[in-house]
């Protein structure tokens, strides 16, 4: 059984919470692949806005 590194999980939760203002529990409820997709989209949007 693989476990996800606690430090990485905290980073992901903080990132999503900072940009989307979602509650902690809602972010933790996301399945890992969904959370990764949300993070990728936030990053894409952030970089696009920074380039404009």
The rounded distance, in Å, linking the Cα atoms of 33 and 39 is 10
Question: What does the DSSP 8-state code read for residue 51?
Answer: H
pLDDT digits (tens, 9 = 90+) for 4-50: 788 899 999 999 999 999 999 999 999 999 999 999 999 999 999 99
Instruction: Tell whether the model's pLDDT for residue 1 goes beyond 60.
Output: no
- Please report, for the chain, the start and end positions of each structural domain, with discontinuous segments joined by +: 6-51
Other Cβ atoms closer than 10 A to 44: 10
Confidence (pLDDT) at 2: 56
Question: What does the DSSP 8-state code read for residue 5?
Answer: -
**Chain Cα centroid distance, residue 27:** 8
3 pLDDT tier (thresholds 50, 70, 90) = low
**Chain Cα centroid distance, residue 2:** 20
Instruction: Output the pTM of the full model.
Output: 0.81
């Amino acid at each position: 059984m693989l476990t996800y590194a606690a430090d990485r999980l905290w980073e992901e939760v903080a990132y999503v919470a900072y940009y989307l203002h979602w509650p902690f529990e809602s972010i933790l409820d996301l399945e890992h692949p969904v959370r990764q997709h949300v993070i990728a989209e936030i990053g894409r949007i952030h970089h696009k806005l920074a380039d404009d």
